[in-house]
Chains A and B, each alone.
Chain A
Amino acid sequence: MQRPVALDVRGLTKRFDRPAVEALDLIVYGGEFYALVGPNGAGKTTTLRMVTGLLRPDSGTITIDGIDALADPIAAKQVTAWLSDEPMIYDKLTPYEYLEFVAGLWRIAPDVAEPRARELIDWLGLTPHAHERCEGFSRGMRQKVALAGALVHDPRLIILDEPLTGLDAGSARTVKNVLSERVRAGGTVIMTTHILEVAERMADRIGIIAGGRLIAEGTLDELHHKTGKTGSSLEETFLTLVEAPVAAE
């Protein structure tokens, strides 16, 4: 049976002063946890910002859940959530109010959004702080509020850029559990990370990006197979794959 495609990216290109992403092709299937890894400046964030409509590509196509995201960005955004590495929330709103605002932006009916918001607040351990302004929150708590905001409209595709950066062990574990739960419930998660152990443990497939190009992708075994280092860690495989194009240049 053919798997549904959640994200289909073809020939995606973006240049700033120099090429950031070059003719990138990427397919992520529905219900899949896809990790995008790569060295600093490889083009991971630029790619995902183009997918979420935060950046206009120079060329290429982006299809989310069958919707042409460049032709109909509103429809594509309706089924997508974006969480950046720096949790952007409003200091003067409470988590509850923040989720109400996000539900309003995504036009989710209050009788659907509110129970979901309460459930998320509870799930993420934010209940004691639900009606406190976010201004005094730690980074971990802010990230949890932002994550709740990303989930309150029940997106089919969640895209996260380094969601575990700066989190303590407890908060990181909560975020990982929430993401795993989403995938089990049929959602699709795409995540960039520098923590290769997380990608190794959580992702169904891993894409390695370097110099704006997807240089390898597949399951962990497939990646090991490509480098001929069966049984080695993802770190070793990653370094082998990333250093190869650099050496070639």
Chain B
Amino acid sequence: MSQPATLTWLAEHELRLGWRDWLSMMTAGRRSRVRTVAIALVVFAVFMHLVAWSMIGGYASTPVDPGKSVLVAVTGTLLLSFSLLLSQAMESVTRAFYARADLDLILTSPVPQRKVFAVRIARIAASVSAVALFLASPFINMLAALGGARWLAAYGVVAAMGMVAAALAVALTVALFRSIGPKRTRLIAQIVAAVIGAAFVIGLQIAAILSYGTLSRFAPLQSEWLVSHAPGPHSAIWLPARAALGDAGALLIVVAASFAVIALSIALFSRRFGEHVIAASGVSQGAVRQRAADGFRRSSAAHALRRKEWTLLLRDPWLVSQSLMQILYLLPPAVLLWRSFHEGAGGFVLLVPVLVMAAGQLGGGLAWLSISGEDAPDLIASAPISPRRVIWAKIEAVMETIAMVFAPFVVALAFASSWAALVAGLGVLIAAAASTLVQLRFRTQAKRSQFRRRQVSSRIATFAEAFSSIAWAAAAALAAIGTWLALAPALIALGILFGVRIVSPRQA
């Protein structure tokens, strides 16, 4: 046991809290679920290893000292992953600034704040790296199994990326704090995090569409133009890629540099971090005045519910930013649509599954907000309206929002192909309805502010929603090209929904 109030003692405390938080998220706070979660994790790990094998098994024989084209592709892939890590790290830093939790206790204790926040920054770096290592492990393991132990060096690169992402996230958030103040930083940082997470992937897709007419994000990374304009193979820019491929020297440099970056970040920002946390804790909401209404509007109870859902959604920029990621993914299809019109290409068929997939994901998020994220459940439950009518009104609110978001795409598509538009329109509605059904089956009682944690409250719901959307997207893609094979993924999607019906908890 370490001495109280020392760095190691604080680190042990953070580690214990982090572990219990993770365990609680995985088991939804029920200790009886630990065994089930452990089994599910093993099954998931096996499944992911199979996926990894099918995706990258062919690359295991890539040499340690490859040509420029391989270095470009590996570096691009690392950058793609890094943008997601940075996004996640910014979320964590923002949460550390604004979550009250134990801050009152810590800030009133005689422990130097600098020490406390040095450990907090290190914890963020460790948690970002841990998640990245967990997600990358199936791919690295398969490469090591098929191509040799040298691939295990990639673990070091992933951990280094996590540390650099955390350091950069702290620097970015502190910079935002200093430039726009604590009140606006919360929202802006979360929007920036969402955009960073999506921007690089989407940027590559748009580049691919404009250059090659495909939605594949890897096409630009394999382009001759990029390879010819990239620095020479001995440039320091390729160090992370070389390290990932098993170059021990490069790995040493990358890991040492990442430790240096996080240490510098802690040295520079741990004091300011504390000051900013205090500033954030003093932020008041402030009054937001709305335009006075002209009078109460005559409406049915169901319409009042629908209007309430839309108003709450529109007035919550944080929720809008959380949905932004899903909406951002519609940009590449929009560019593809625009390009197809101009060049008469048949690429619009590719749009159908993208639209359907996006609708399924957005529908799931909106359905959670509407059905589970009810801030006044007692008011609704004590109102003279049947629970069935309440649920229907909320489903209508979700479906009408989906229709409004996707209608412009479907209408534009109709000018190119009425059949593709019909399939896309039906697919969008069905995928959104299916995700809504999943959320309905797994509905809980939660605050809207817990939106970000919805995916950990029920893993089954999250996976069912994702697989249902994928299956409907596949069905729509096959239907768009006019083959009866579309029935196969549609039947799988129906099977998923039937499975949800069986395994979902009984609703009171």
Interface segment, B26-34, B100-108, B288-296, B360-368?
B288-296
**CB atoms of A54 and B508 under 8 A apart:** no
**CB atoms of A133 and B301 under 8 A apart:** no
Write out the residue numbers on chain A whose beta carbons fall within 8 Å of the beta carbon of B305.
104-105
Write out the residue numbers on chain A whose beta carbons fall within 8 Å of the beta carbon of B315.
92, 133
Write out the residue numbers on chain B whose beta carbons fall within 8 Å of the beta carbon of A104.
299-301, 303-305, 307
| A93-B308 in contact given A75-B384, A77-B384 (Cβ < 8 Å) | yes
Separation in Å of the B380 CB from the closest CB of chain A?
7
- Residues 125-174 (chain A) with a chain B CB within 8 angstroms: 129-133, 135-136, 149
**Can you give 28 contacting A-B residue pairs, CB < 8 Å?**
A53-B381, A54-B382, A77-B382, A77-B383, A77-B384, A89-B375, A89-B376, A89-B379, A92-B315, A93-B311, A96-B293, A97-B290, A97-B293, A100-B293, A100-B297, A101-B304, A101-B308, A104-B305, A105-B380, A105-B384, A106-B383, A106-B384, A110-B295, A110-B296, A114-B296, A129-B287, A131-B289, A135-B285
Separation in Å of the B399 CB from the closest CB of chain A?
20
- Decide yes or no whether A90 CB sits under 8 A from chain B: yes
**CB atoms of A133 and B308 under 8 A apart:** no
Q: Which residue of B lies closest to A76 (CB)?
A: B384
**CB atoms of A74 and B376 under 8 A apart:** no
- Decide yes or no whether A78 CB sits under 8 A from chain B: yes
| A132-B288 in contact given A93-B308, A149-B379 (Cβ < 8 Å) | yes
Q: Which residue of B lies closest to A149 (CB)?
A: B379
Write out the residue numbers on chain B whose beta carbons fall within 8 Å of the beta carbon of A133.
287-290, 315
Write out the residue numbers on chain A whose beta carbons fall within 8 Å of the beta carbon of B507.
none
| A136-B286 in contact given A75-B384, A100-B297 (Cβ < 8 Å) | yes
Encode A89-130 as 1/0 by CB contact (under 8 A) with B. Answer: 111111011001111111101100110010000000000011
**CB atoms of A88 and B288 under 8 A apart:** no
**CB atoms of A90 and B312 under 8 A apart:** yes
Write out the residue numbers on chain B whose beta carbons fall within 8 Å of the beta carbon of A94.
290
Write out the residue numbers on chain B whose beta carbons fall within 8 Å of the beta carbon of A131.
289-292
- Decide yes or no whether B316 CB sits under 8 A from chain A: yes
Q: Which residue of B lies closest to A136 (CB)?
A: B285
Separation in Å of the B501 CB from the closest CB of chain A?
22
Interface segment, A1-9, A79-87, A209-217?
A79-87
Q: Which residue of A lies closest to B295 (CB)?
A: A114
- Decide yes or no whether A56 CB sits under 8 A from chain B: yes
- Decide yes or no whether A52 CB sits under 8 A from chain B: yes
State how many residues of chain A have any CB contact under 8 Å with chain B. Answer: 42
| A88-B377 in contact given A81-B382, A106-B383 (Cβ < 8 Å) | yes
Separation in Å of the B34 CB from the closest CB of chain A?
21
Pick the most buried of B296, B303, B384: most chain A CB atoms within 10 A of its CB. Answer: B296
Separation in Å of the B284 CB from the closest CB of chain A?
7
| A132-B296 in contact given A74-B384, A105-B384 (Cβ < 8 Å) | no
**CB atoms of A93 and B381 under 8 A apart:** no
- Residues 315-352 (chain B) with a chain A CB within 8 angstroms: 315-316
Separation in Å of the A47 CB from the closest CB of chain B?
15
**CB atoms of B385 and A74 under 8 A apart:** yes
- Decide yes or no whether B378 CB sits under 8 A from chain A: yes
**CB atoms of B285 and A84 under 8 A apart:** no
Distance in angstroms between the alpha carbons of A125 and B303 in the assembled complex? 29
Q: Knowing that A74-B384, A107-B384 touch, tell me 17 more A-B residue pairs with CB under 8 angstroms.
A: A52-B382, A53-B382, A54-B382, A75-B384, A77-B384, A89-B376, A96-B293, A101-B304, A101-B308, A103-B296, A104-B299, A105-B385, A106-B384, A109-B298, A133-B289, A133-B290, A136-B288
- Decide yes or no whether B62 CB sits under 8 A from chain A: no
A-B complex: 5 closest residue pairs judged by Cβ atoms: A104-B304, A136-B285, A110-B296, A88-B376, A105-B383
Separation in Å of the A85 CB from the closest CB of chain B?
10
Write out the residue numbers on chain B whose beta carbons fall within 8 Å of the beta carbon of A117.
296
Encode B379-417 as 1/0 by CB contact (under 8 A) with A. Answer: 111111110000000000000000000000000000000
Distance in angstroms between the alpha carbons of A75 and B386 in the assembled complex? 10
**CB atoms of B300 and A107 under 8 A apart:** yes
Encode B120-157 as 1/0 by CB contact (under 8 A) with A. Answer: 00000000000000000000000000000000000000
Distance in angstroms between the alpha carbons of A112 and B288 in the assembled complex? 28
| A135-B288 in contact given A110-B296, A114-B296 (Cβ < 8 Å) | yes
Separation in Å of the A80 CB from the closest CB of chain B?
7
Distance in angstroms between the alpha carbons of A96 and B378 in the assembled complex? 19
**CB atoms of B296 and A113 under 8 A apart:** yes
Separation in Å of the A139 CB from the closest CB of chain B?
13
Distance in angstroms between the alpha carbons of A91 and B297 in the assembled complex? 21
- Residues 265-299 (chain B) with a chain A CB within 8 angstroms: 284-293, 295-299
Q: Which residue of A lies closest to B376 (CB)?
A: A88
**CB atoms of A96 and B384 under 8 A apart:** no
Distance in angstroms between the alpha carbons of A97 and B312 in the assembled complex? 11
Pick the most buried of B286, B297, B383: most chain A CB atoms within 10 A of its CB. Answer: B383
Distance in angstroms between the alpha carbons of A113 and B377 in the assembled complex? 22
**CB atoms of A92 and B382 under 8 A apart:** no
Q: Which residue of A lies closest to B301 (CB)?
A: A105
- Residues 21-78 (chain A) with a chain B CB within 8 angstroms: 52-54, 56, 74-75, 77-78
Distance in angstroms between the alpha carbons of A130 and B380 in the assembled complex? 22
Q: Which residue of A lies closest to B382 (CB)?
A: A82
Distance in angstroms between the alpha carbons of A100 and B297 in the assembled complex? 8
Q: Which residue of B lies closest to A116 (CB)?
A: B296
Q: Which residue of B lies closest to A56 (CB)?
A: B508
Separation in Å of the B397 CB from the closest CB of chain A?
13
| Residue among B287, B296, B311 making CB contact with A136, cutoff 8 Å | B287
Write out the residue numbers on chain B whose beta carbons fall within 8 Å of the beta carbon of A110.
295-298
**CB atoms of B375 and A80 under 8 A apart:** no
Distance in angstroms between the alpha carbons of A132 and B286 in the assembled complex? 10
Separation in Å of the B249 CB from the closest CB of chain A?
55
Q: Which residue of A lies closest to B287 (CB)?
A: A132
Write out the residue numbers on chain A whose beta carbons fall within 8 Å of the beta carbon of B382.
52-54, 77, 80-82
Separation in Å of the B386 CB from the closest CB of chain A?
6
Write out the residue numbers on chain A whose beta carbons fall within 8 Å of the beta carbon of B307.
101, 104
Separation in Å of the B374 CB from the closest CB of chain A?
9
Distance in angstroms between the alpha carbons of A107 and B305 in the assembled complex? 12
Write out the residue numbers on chain B whose beta carbons fall within 8 Å of the beta carbon of A84.
378
Write out the residue numbers on chain B whose beta carbons fall within 8 Å of the beta carbon of A136.
284-288
Separation in Å of the A55 CB from the closest CB of chain B?
9
Distance in angstroms between the alpha carbons of A93 and B508 in the assembled complex? 29
Pick the most buried of A75, A92, A106: most chain B CB atoms within 10 A of its CB. Answer: A92
Distance in angstroms between the alpha carbons of A53 and B381 in the assembled complex? 7
Separation in Å of the B184 CB from the closest CB of chain A?
15
| Residue among A82, A106, A132 making CB contact with B290, cutoff 8 Å | A132
